[in-house]
């Protein structure tokens, strides 16, 4: 089973004076018969601005979404789109290795597929009973 590890606070934008702040992209996790899948909503992020790492059973997805250059002076009445650095960390089962993971960026969504390993069924074993 996949578990999200919370690494930062709320997904609302953090004040710019915080040196080490991240936002978390909206994330869906689902399962099919063949795989686990993680879907992150990261519109405006290119594959060059993404990093996916697997270390100590933690899958870390990080990157940056840069704010587009805006001409002139604007007064925002509402600002909900997060810009800057983001990070999402997922705890994976210990059987997951990097060769089971694939990633695909399409139309603002990053999909990470984690192939399921076939379940090994052990042969029945006879347990010897020792006389005590």
Q: What is the mean pLDDT of the chain?
A: 83
Average pLDDT on 70-85 reads 87
* Residue 14: both structure tokens together: 């953090």
Question: Which structural domains are found in the chain, ordered by start?
Answer: 3-10+20-69+78-115 (2.60.40.790)
Q: Which of 94, 97, 108 is nearest to 39 (CA)?
A: 108
Q: Which residues contact residue 83 at a Cβ distance below 8 angstroms, ignoring those fewer than 6 apart?
A: 13, 65, 66, 67
Q: Given this model, what pLDDT does residue 121 score? A: 66
Dist. CA 116–CA 43, nearest whole Å: 28
Output the pLDDT for position 29. Answer: 94
Rounded Cα gap, residues 67 and 117, in angstroms: 40
Measure the CA–CA gap between 59 and 92, rounded to whole angstroms: 7
Whether pLDDT at 130 is above 90: no
CA–CA–CA angle 38, 40, 45 (5° rounding): 140
Cβ–Cβ under 8 Å, residues 108 and 65: no
Q: What is the value of pTM for the model shown?
A: 0.73
pLDDT for the residue numbered 2: 58
88: confidence class by pLDDT, cuts 50, 70, 90? very high
């Amino acid at each position: 089973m996949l578990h999200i590890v919370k690494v930062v606070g709320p997904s609302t934008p953090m004040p710019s004076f915080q040196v080490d702040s991240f936002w978390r992209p909206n994330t869906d996790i689902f399962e099919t018969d063949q795989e686990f899948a993680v879907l992150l909503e990261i519109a405006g992020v290119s594959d060059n601005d993404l990093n996916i790492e697997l270390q100590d059973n933690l899958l870390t997805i990080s990157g940056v979404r840069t704010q587009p250059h805006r001409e002139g002076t604007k007064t925002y009445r509402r600002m909900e789109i997060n810009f800057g650095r983001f990070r999402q960390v997922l705890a994976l089962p210990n059987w997951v290795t990097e060769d089971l993971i694939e990633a695909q960026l399409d139309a603002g969504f990053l999909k990470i597929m984690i192939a399921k390993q076939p379940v090994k069924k052990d042969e029945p074993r006879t347990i010897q009973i020792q006389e005590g």
